[in-house]
Structure 1
Amino acid sequence: MSTTLLASAPTIDGVSEATIAAYFAGLNAEAYPDVANLFATDGVLVPPFEEPVVGPAAIATYLAQEAVGMRVVPTKGELLSHEPHERVYRIVGQAKLPLFTVNVAWQFGLNPQDQITGVKVDLLATLEELFSYQPLRQRP
């Protein structure tokens, strides 16, 4: 894990996992290969409204296509479960995109080696709010 990422990692009230902090710092630094390397070989990123993305290489490619210009601001979190094979955390905060900001919840799974087994990203917005964002999003 990059010490540079950890130096710029946000403070998350209730969670002190270095891997989770490095994930958010890496997203904000647009260091997508570094973020992807935090995942286990079969780690999964589940973006909102899209198919799961599996494996570090696919995750790095996905983030380079979809996360440019996004800034994430995690604010608080909690440990949901602690099993021998996985710890599960829920983090809430905001994702700031060039044209709007939306409240977000991230659910992380971490294995005993502190690798990310999965991140599920949920938008915390009403359907009406999401539809109001639609015209702002432009895709090539």
Structure 2
Amino acid sequence: MPHSVQGSPLLGIDEPTLIAYFAALNDERYEEVAALFAEEGVLYPPFEEPVIGRGAIAHYLHLEAAGMRAEPRKGELLAQEGTERCYRLVGKAKLPLFSVNVAWQFGLNTENQITFVKVDLLATLEELFNYQPLRQQR
């Protein structure tokens, strides 16, 4: 099985759960994304409160991730402590009006369920403040 996400190599990571996460996320199959989480798994979106539990994660993704495309480019196993493995991936998140560099940090338990995903934007404050939505021209 090639280790890719929608044709993009996921360098350094061959973890099926992570590959499935990005494939389902990019296909907007949010219930499938949420099903990859442990029952009380947590999504830590940037600048927002944690989203806890599969149902809440699916609901959040339906509201906030529509039209987004995640493009992880490189990943590594950060640590294997006790029964949890931690991974870090970097790449881009493309939204309808802009794209931004992103780092995703994942925790996986012994059942290969996601215990947490932390999403960090890798942009300077200046870059974020300078972002202005495209405006319709009259």
Q: Structure 1 length as normaliser, TM-score?
A: 0.89
Q: CA deviation at 1:110?
A: 0.2
Q: 8 Å contact 1:73–1:95 — kept in the other structure?
A: yes
Q: CA deviation at 1:8?
A: 4.7
Structure with the higher helix share, 1 or 2: 1
Q: 8 Å contact 1:103–1:123 — kept in the other structure?
A: yes
Q: How many pairs are equivalent? A: 131
| Structure 2, unaligned runs of 5 or more | none
| Structure 1, unaligned runs of 5 or more | 1-5
Q: CA deviation at 1:7?
A: 8.4
What is the root-mean-square deviation in Å for CA atoms of aligned residues?
1.7
Question: Given residue 86 of structure 1, which amino acid in structure 2 is its aligned partner?
Answer: E
Whole-angstrom CA distance in 2 between matches of 1:117 and 1:9: 26
Q: Deviations over 1:76-123 (max 9, x none)?
A: 011110123100000000000000010000000000000000000000
Q: 8 Å contact 1:9–1:25 — kept in the other structure?
A: no
1:37/1:85 Cα in 2 relative to 1: closer, same or farther (>3 Å)? Answer: same
Secondary structure of residue in 2 paired with 1:15:
coil
Question: Given residue 89 of structure 2, which amino acid in structure 1 is its aligned partner?
Answer: I
Whole-angstrom CA distance in 2 between matches of 1:8 and 1:121: 20
Structure with the higher strand share, 1 or 2: 2
1:49/1:96 Cα in 2 relative to 1: closer, same or farther (>3 Å)? Answer: same
1:57/1:44 Cα in 2 relative to 1: closer, same or farther (>3 Å)? Answer: same
Secondary structure of residue in 1 paired with 2:63:
helix
Question: Given residue 92 of structure 1, which amino acid in structure 2 is its aligned partner?
Answer: V
Q: Following superposition of structure 1 onto structure 2, how do residues 51-62 of structure 1 map, counting pairs within 5 Å? A: 51-62=49-60
Q: Deviations over 1:57-87 (max 9, x none)?
A: 0000000000000001000011110123100
1:41/1:10 Cα in 2 relative to 1: closer, same or farther (>3 Å)? Answer: farther
Q: Does 1:67 align with 2:65?
A: yes
Whole-angstrom CA distance in 1 between matches of 2:33 and 2:55: 10
